[in-house]
């Protein structure tokens, strides 16, 4: 039996609820890691997703940020925020899921954008990534399956955008940003897309401006990072590009990993 884990920056769950419900139905993932839910916990449309068979845990915030984990299997424990990193943003939620093939730890991550570079926002982006690395390194000795899924706001390679020259002054493309993402892999984590495919010019985000979607001027910034045990079980990775053409679409689309369970 396969286990499907999806990450999606929904860009306001309340503004896009009908679209989100349709995407959930189409993709059929067992576990969803959502970012930018943009609502406080009591306002999350829990009933609609519970009606689809999901257990729901959220770490919301009024109007901005916000992350959630939805699972068709029991959520046994969860943590809000990266341990050791103190800040006011709702950007990280982690849970242990009682999947049929054994427990799997998942996290939904919304890393800071970091723009403009040369400001405290960029420094916070790097601090966030370093705290994440430290935390994930502490999980590796547990030798469990874990998937850290979401919007990392990192363009890892030149071929993960159309034209690198347009991104040279953007925080998502800075050498420090990319080095921070590589540092996560250097402790023993695997970029699921790179293991399963790795093809150039496949994107997970298209801006609303300047006809980016129509011209396929996108970037790959939504990632699944896997522990060695999860990487061993990975069967494939899909990007549900159709979601970007739907009515009231998010500017991101889901990325889905399928694992042998």
Percent of the chain with pLDDT strictly greater than 90: 97
Class of domain 2-260 as given by CATH? alpha beta
89 is in an annotated binding site: no
Q: For the stretch 170-203, what's the b/e string if a residue is b when 16 or more beta carbons lie within 10 angstroms of its beta carbon?
A: bbbbbeebbebbeebeeeebbbbbeebeeeeebb
Please tell me which residue in 54, 92, 151, 193 is annotated as part of the active site. Answer: 151
Catalytic annotation present for 232: no
Catalytic annotation present for 110: yes
pLDDT in tens, 213-229: 999 999 999 999 999 99
30 is in an annotated binding site: no
> Under a CB-based contact definition with an 8 Å cutoff, are residues 218 and 181 in contact?
no
pLDDT of residue 158: 98
Q: Quick one: pLDDT band at residue 87, thresholds 50, 70, 90?
A: confident
pLDDT at 86 over 90: no
Report d(CA 125, CA 247) in Å as an integer.
32
- Say if residue 72 is preceded by a cis peptide, omega within 30 of 0: no
| SS3 category, 93 | strand
Q: What is the mean pLDDT of residues 227-246?
A: 98
235 is in an annotated binding site: no
Catalytic annotation present for 201: no
pLDDT in tens, 184-211: 999 999 999 999 999 999 999 999 998 9
Residue-averaged pLDDT of the chain? 97
Evaluated on CA atoms 254, 197, 167, 218, the torsion sign reads negative
pLDDT in tens, 115-127: 999 999 999 999 9
Q: Which of 109-113, 171-175, 210-214, 222-226 has the lowest mean pLDDT?
A: 210-214
pLDDT at 68 over 90: yes
């Amino acid at each position: 039996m396969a286990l499907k884990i999806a990450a999606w920056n929904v860009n306001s769950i309340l503004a896009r609820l009908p679209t989100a419900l349709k995407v959930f139905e189409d993709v059929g993932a067992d576990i969803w890691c959502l970012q930018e839910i943009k609502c406080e916990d009591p306002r999350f449309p829990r009933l609609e997703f519970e009606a689809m068979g999901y257990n729901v845990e959220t770490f919301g915030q009024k109007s901005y940020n916000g992350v959630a984990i939805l699972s068709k299997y029991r959520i046994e424990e969860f943590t809000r925020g990266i341990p050791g990193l103190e800040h006011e943003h709702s950007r990280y939620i982690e849970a242990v899921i009682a999947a049929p093939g054994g427990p799997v730890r998942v996290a939904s991550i919304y890393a800071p954008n970091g723009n403009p570079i040369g400001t405290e926002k960029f420094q916070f982006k790097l601090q966030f990534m370093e705290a994440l690395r430290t935390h994930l390194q502490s999980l590796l000795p547990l030798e469990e399956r874990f998937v850290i899924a979401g919007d990392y706001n990192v363009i890892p390679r030149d071929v993960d955008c159309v034209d690198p020259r347009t991104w040279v002054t953007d925080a998502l493309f800075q050498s420090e940003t990319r080095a921070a993402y590589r540092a996560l892999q250097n402790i023993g984590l695997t970029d699921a897309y790179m293991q399963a495919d790795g093809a150039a010019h496949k994107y997970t985000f298209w801006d609303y401006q300047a006809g980016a979607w129509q011209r396929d001027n996108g970037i790959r910034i939504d990632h699944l990072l896997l522990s060695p045990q999860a990487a061993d079980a990975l069967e494939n990775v899909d990007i549900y590009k159709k979601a970007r053409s739907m009515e009231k679409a998010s500017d991101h689309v889901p990325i889905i990993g399928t694992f042998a369970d």
